[in-house]
Amino acid sequence: MKFPLGQVVITPTALEKLKSDDILNSLNRHVLGDWGELDDEDRQTNDEALQSGDRLLSAYRSDGTKFWIITEASREVTTVLLPEDY
């Protein structure tokens, strides 16, 4: 585990559209620093954020539906959401 997730919350739309196994698997990947489907620049930003304490963003898919996991800079809250929820 590279950082604490804090309280994990999920938007209603994400809860409705995503498989629970995919959510749990992706949260495990996120906390280990596997940022999912991000480009190299965004991966680098996350790697730097681990050191600086900035916000962390990962992107994954569940049955073709793209979703994000965002851990706030404070590390007090991690949110699972769809891009359209942002």
Q: Which pTM does this prediction carry?
A: 0.96
Burial class (CB within 10 angstroms; exposed 0-12, middle 13-18, buried 19+) of 12? exposed
Q: What pLDDT was estimated at residue 55?
A: 98
Mean pLDDT, residues 43-61: 97
Q: Encode pLDDT of 5-49 as tens digits.
A: 999 999 999 999 999 999 999 999 999 999 999 999 999 999 999
Does residue 56 lie within any of the structural domains?
yes
Does residue 27 lie within any of the structural domains?
yes
Supply the CATH number for residue 72's domain.
Answer: 3.30.2310
Does residue 57 lie within any of the structural domains?
yes
Query: Which sign, positive or negative, has the C-alpha torsion 15, 21, 26, 27?
Result: positive
Domain count, the chain: 1
